[in-house]
Amino acid sequence: MQHIAYHDPVLCEETLNVLITDPNGIYVDGTLGGGGHASALLTHLSKSAKVFGIDQDDDALRAASKRINDNRFSTVKGNFGYMDVLLPSSLQGRVNGILLDIGVSSHQIDQGTRGFSFREDGPLDMRMDPRNPLSAAIVVNNYDPAELTRILFTYGEERFSRKITETIVARRPVETTAELRQAVESVIRGPHVNKSLARVFQAIRIEVNQELEMLTMALHKSVKLLAEGGRIAVMSYHSLEDRLVKHFFRAGNADGVVEKDFYGNDIRPLNPVKPALITPSEQEIARNPRARSARLRVAEKPAEVSA
């Protein structure tokens, strides 16, 4: 049997405390993973509540279905960027809470065959959804060098992105995670190499899975799905994603600039819930190092907003 290692859900109590506004309500976990948050959520809800768990990864859906045996719970396969069409249309404007715990799961990282980890040798894959036509191998081997440099610099915040790209291009075809690792190690030497490896792998993963685009789409869709007074909680692990969420919660767009209506009133599809930012305690980080960079933000759909 396959070993399923899903770790502790990050900021679990903190998230549920702010997300649940109605224990009889309808909730959507857009990043089901191993079902850690979803199973905790179910324990806080009444018998008449409903929880829909979305994930684009079959392994995650299998693990969560095995863990959660509850007739209030249903799984949905797909990308949360399309959650409005994945969920029954009757849910539009009726969802009380949406949770997004974005990024990869520890389970995905630990499986060498998925290609997410520089610590395991495997194919250059990194697709969360196996139906995705774009893989890490395509990004690494087929992208124009200027585009690859931009990805490593923007999504990975890697200072040596140009030099790393030159080395990758000279070594093409780069076919495995070990070969990509060796390319990075030939540029960055010494104690900082693991940080650069993490940045390069993260940047390519964000591109392969179009993570910023899908998050933007999901934020827009959440406005349509939420009931008045309903809330969305987003946990991100990367400064670009966190900035996007902060801007969207403030202004309803990725730029964070509040638009005005004809009468000069602010147009805000969501209102940020205070505290604006929740981060894990020292104890949680000691227990679960993956939680270290987690940043949780929550927003509420105000009354009388037409989505």
Ligand X SMILES: C[S@@+](CC[C@H](N)C(=O)[O-])C[C@H]1O[C@@H](n2cnc3c(N)ncnc32)[C@H](O)[C@@H]1O
CA–CA gap between residue 195 and residue 8 (Å, rounded): 24
Site for ligand X in 12-41 (CB under 6 A): 31, 33-37
Minimum CB distance to ligand X, residue 57 (Å): 4
Minimum CB distance to ligand X, residue 171 (Å): 29
| Nearest residue (CB) to ligand X, 102 versus 174 | 102
Minimum CB distance to ligand X, residue 8 (Å): 8
| Nearest residue (CB) to ligand X, 57 versus 84 | 57
Site for ligand X in 207-246 (CB under 6 A): 214
What one-character DSSP code corresponds to residue 33?
Answer: T
Minimum CB distance to ligand X, residue 35 (Å): 6
Instruction: Look at the alpha carbons of 216, 222, 228, 232 in this order and tell me if their dihedral is positive or negative.
Output: negative
| Nearest residue (CB) to ligand X, 87 versus 164 | 87
Return all residues near 39 (Cβ < 8 A) that are at least 6 apart.
67, 68
Side chain identity at 117, as an amino acid letter? S
Using rule CB under 6 A, residue 6 touches ligand X: yes
Indicate which single residue of 128, 188, 227, 245 sits in contact with ligand X (rule: CB under 6 A).
128
Site for ligand X in 39-98 (CB under 6 A): 54-57, 60, 79-81
CA dihedral 201→202→207→209, nearest 10 degrees, is: 110
Instruction: Count interface residues toward ligand X (CB under 6 A).
Output: 22
What one-character DSSP code corresponds to residue 297?
Answer: E
CA–CA gap between residue 72 and residue 53 (Å, rounded): 11
Give the bridge partners for 232, in sequence order. 98, 299
| Nearest residue (CB) to ligand X, 56 versus 165 | 56
| Residue burial 230-256, b: 16+ Cβ < 10 Å; e: rest | bbbbbbbbbeebbebbbbbbbbbbbee
Minimum CB distance to ligand X, residue 5 (Å): 11
| Nearest residue (CB) to ligand X, 56 versus 149 | 56
| Residue burial 96-113, b: 16+ Cβ < 10 Å; e: rest | bbbbbbbbbbebbbbbbe
| Nearest residue (CB) to ligand X, 51 versus 128 | 128
Minimum CB distance to ligand X, residue 290 (Å): 8
DSSP characters over 98-123: EEEE-S--HHHHH-GGG---SSS--B
Using rule CB under 6 A, residue 103 touches ligand X: yes
| Nearest residue (CB) to ligand X, 6 versus 201 | 6
| Nearest residue (CB) to ligand X, 187 versus 203 | 203
Site for ligand X in 239-298 (CB under 6 A): none
CA–CA gap between residue 190 and residue 184 (Å, rounded): 12
Minimum CB distance to ligand X, residue 209 (Å): 6
CA–CA gap between residue 63 and residue 92 (Å, rounded): 28
The residues binding ligand X (CB under 6 A) are 6, 9, 31, 33-37, 54-57, 60, 79-81, 101-103, 105, 128, 214
